[in-house]
Amino acid sequence: MTTAPTGPEPTTTTAAEPHPDKARPSGERRLLAGLMSNSIALYAIYGAVPAVLLANLVADVDPDSKSTSLGIISAVGAFGAMLANPIAGALSDRTHGRFGRRAPWMAGGALLGGLSLIALGAGNSLLWIGVAWALTQIFLNGLQAPLTAVIPDRTPEDRRGVFSSAAGLAQMLGAVAGTAVAAGFADALGLGFAVFGVLVIVGTAIFLLLNREPAAAPQAEPFRWKTFLAGFWVSPRRHPDFAWAFLGRFLLVLGYYCVSSYQLYILDDYLGLGRDRANDLVPLLSVAMLPGMIAMIVVSGPWSDRAGRRKPFVVGSSVGMAVSLALPLLLRSEASMFAYSIVCGCAFGMYMAVDTALMTQVLPRPDDAAKDMGVLNIANALPQALAPAVAAAVIAALGGYSALFVSGIVLVLLGALSILPIRTVR
């Protein structure tokens, strides 16, 4: 495969222009099914490894300091993933050849990520585990970035709600299924890592074989590192819709995870239930979220296609999330936490279904879709990493968990307001 440079940034937004390779495909259902299955395989790893397989492996190697060691290893892996996603996307944007722009990176990312997972399962030291997990994260994001670009590359705008819903559903199903399956390998960790490594390799291979990508013609300009690196900066002045979308996603995700990451402590300290009861309730609250989340993921994307609108759904989901956060603030009880979970599940499901579709319509250049989607993914990954620290600061500085709920409400509503100035999407 060969890469070519990023060209100079245009002065106008061209997100509505059709990509040269894009048409309403005769194999749309095959593309949709392949995208879902490949995404489920990828997100199964994200669900299985950090919470189950990696946690158990670290506990076996370093039982006395397992919490600290897992935190450091996870942070290093998350940092690598956050950098790898936009870089891999940008390189795929510049790739040309008879296999297309995305396929070589997807194949390479899946193969190397799968092999890194298998190597991770053989880890017998913290250094081995840390390096192997960082490489796994980097390579899997080399798969994820071009996989995400399949939607803006190969689907028309009036069908992106359907594909966005499918991506959101696959993300949730993969994470849940991965966690459940991984629990069965708690006593055979090496085999568990190998199973998920093979799964992502096979899943990606099937997707690529059934959904052949058109050959990509080379670009005229020679590769220049300065131009390539400068392409990661998207000017808010020249592309305000992209900047507003980034800010809206960042604020909403930060508001959501600031509260959800402290759920155990909220039940224990804020409601005064005690640690044992709090531990019993956490999985029940997660289950309470699922029905509404699944229903809204399935319904909202196609509904936004029919309506020809994205912004009302994203704004509505933000307002719904604010309402859910107000319930335990106004009434301290187990019932209010279950009400929070149900309402928040519906709101977050609507957001997951439509957010990706909206993001694909504010991209500055169709030819830079994977890079720009990778940059937007920072607005999803970074607040998740920052949320525990922000929540701790709010609780310490502003007077406890009531302040945390208020801060969450303010953040998600600011996220909604950030979507309103976007002009190229209704």
What band does 180 get if pLDDT is binned at 50, 70 and 90?
confident
Instruction: Answer whether 27-213 and 240-419 agree in fold.
Output: yes
The ranges assigned to domains in the chain are: 27-213, 240-419
Please provide the average confidence, as pLDDT, over all residues in the chain.
Answer: 84
Cα separation values, 260 from 98, 111, 417, Å: 46, 34, 22
Cα separation values, 194 from 76, 83, 136, Å: 22, 25, 13
Is residue 15 predicted with pLDDT exceeding 50?
A: no
pLDDT in tens, 265-294: 888 889 999 878 887 887 788 788 889 988
CATH 1.20.1250.20 describes domain 240-419:
yes
Burial 388-413 (b: 16+ CB within 10 A, else e): eebbeebbeeeeebebbbbbbbebbb
When pLDDT is averaged across residues 45-49 and rounded to a whole number, the result is 85
For 117-131, 177-191, 356-370, 398-412, which range has the lowest pLDDT when averaged over its residues?
356-370
27-213: CATH superfamily: MFS general substrate transporter like domains (1.20.1250.20)
Q: Which long-range contacts (CB under 8 A, 24 or more apart) does 6-9 make?
A: 6/90, 6/93, 6/94, 6/227, 6/228, 6/230, 6/231, 6/368, 6/371, 7/219, 7/221, 7/227, 8/227, 9/231, 9/234, 9/235, 9/238, 9/239, 9/364, 9/365
pLDDT in tens, 136-150: 999 999 999 899 888
- Answer yes or no: pTM beyond 0.75: no
Task: Please name which of 303, 261, 298 lies closest in space to residue 282, comparing C-alpha atoms.
Answer: 261
Residue 287: other Cβ atoms inside 10 A: 10
